[in-house]
Structure 1
């Protein structure tokens, strides 16, 4: 006797539906539809001003959509139900919703008056109300993970840019978010410090339980880490696919032009590095 066995597919952890964002008369996102699956690693690539950072800032509740809806774990992010009606979310709702999301910014945003250890454990104590000793143990564990276990008593001003960014990553991880957002986290770093930060992110990406949205101009990194790559331009997703599809068989003229420009810049950088090495 045969039986029909239905396998339920996982629901997206994040849904953008018809999301538009405008600043005054300038539209930076146009009717965005995007699903992010649990544990999925998505890289956003595209020219400056194409809407990449806005996608992340809307999810982190740093910007509010002009129209459309965003859901996290099946629950509205910017709206809430009140007396049977959908109304704009209040701060209590937003605070609860963003607790499952972590974001690492371009410019670290560390507290300059706190040690590295305090920077990482602060949210556990004041947001999660975790006992200080327990928070300290968790923070030390994360600082060890990013290779900064010997810098716990240092202040941000005593660290290199790459070290500061690794502290910022540890601070985001310490809250055990289901979704991690990385906004051009290497763009403010000297070139020789980029690798150490990307290595840490690759280590996190290898752990399959956290969804990641990576806004990056590091094409090789996007190829290595992402399950799916989205190319944005003019506030819309022009093309998306696996790294192989995007880099080896781009379909749209805009993506082909973008990748050609990147390849020329990369060849120039390699030539400059080779020439500099020859001088030494």
Structure 2
């Protein structure tokens, strides 16, 4: 069963571990060792598992993401990368373990002094702190670019039409689409559609953004414009980012930390320099050899 591909769904439309770092080799010259940031993480996975029937795709992952940190999650297809992002975005429920966002349990809530499954209201509130851009654009085809971006802040955040428009115009300008406000998705290229999807997520001002293989559905010539947009966003603010990607150069350039997962576990993590120049595990070395 393939579980590492985000499918387009109505949930996606509406939603609009820390494993120890691999031991360092004795003479690992010039590779700055990654150290956890001080303070509280904005996202915390603890002992998270996920099964689909008899298939266990996430096997007890611990992972912290700190405010402003950009982490790239790499690994072979089927390693559980996308499932990790979907659980954070509440599109998949963990089979075990806990996920916290901004200090609150995502999938559980306290009721009369005891922990109980989270209500829809609880999930909806915390999901407002998380943005996600999917492989597929999931734009509403009958809405203009501007309305695609203003719909969620009006209906979810309760902004006035004027406030939502002001915020949307700002974000569409950031992704280079200020001149496309009244166009419809059918009039845009694939790269432009993905940039609208990025603006739609940013306009909600989330504390953490999840980018799930955002270039995989694009023609090769359109990949660069989307990646450059994300690079620009990553340079700007203090929003945390989780970048699930097969683009190794992109992972190296944008991230503060790279996490390598395989067979549902975090095998190795470290700075981009550590991961790409001095990998420690044979599994990571084998994976990277395909990109050289």
User: Same fold by TM (over 0.5)?
Assistant: yes
The one of 184, 194, 216 equivalent to 2:245 is 216
The one of 99, 108, 122 equivalent to 1:79 is 108
Match of 1:267 in 2: none
Q: Which residues in structure 2 correspond to 1:234-253 (within 5 Å)?
A: 234-253=263-282
CA distance in 2, matches of 1:208, 1:127: 23
- CA deviation profile, 1:123-169 (whole Å, cap 9, x unmatched): 01111111101111111111111111111111101100000000000
Per the TM alignment, residue 10 of structure 1 is displaced from its structure 2 partner at its CA by 1.4
CA distance in 2, matches of 1:131, 1:208: 25
Per the TM alignment, residue 9 of structure 1 is displaced from its structure 2 partner at its CA by 3.2
The one of 195, 207, 212 equivalent to 1:178 is 207
The one of 127, 135, 151 equivalent to 1:98 is 127
User: Structure 2: which 5+ residue stretches go unaligned?
Assistant: 1-36
* Stretches (4+) displaced over 4 A: none
User: Structure 1: which 5+ residue stretches go unaligned?
Assistant: 1-7, 264-280
TM-score by length of 1: 0.90
The one of 27, 31, 35 equivalent to 2:64 is 35
- CA deviation profile, 1:180-227 (whole Å, cap 9, x unmatched): 000000011111111100111001101241000000011000000000
Aligned residue pairs: how many?
A: 256
Q: CA RMSD in A?
A: 0.9
Q: Which residues in structure 2 correspond to 1:1-280 (within 5 Å)?
A: 9-263=38-292
Q: Assess, with a 3 A threshold, how the Cα gap between structure 1 residues 166 and 10 changes in structure 2: closer, same or farther.
A: same
TM-score by length of 2: 0.87
Normalized per residue, which structure has more helix?
1
Q: What is the SS of the residue equivalent to 1:31? A: strand
Greater length-normalized contact order (CA 8 Å, ≥ 6 residues apart) = 2
CA distance in 2, matches of 1:13, 1:208: 15
CA distance in 2, matches of 1:101, 1:112: 24
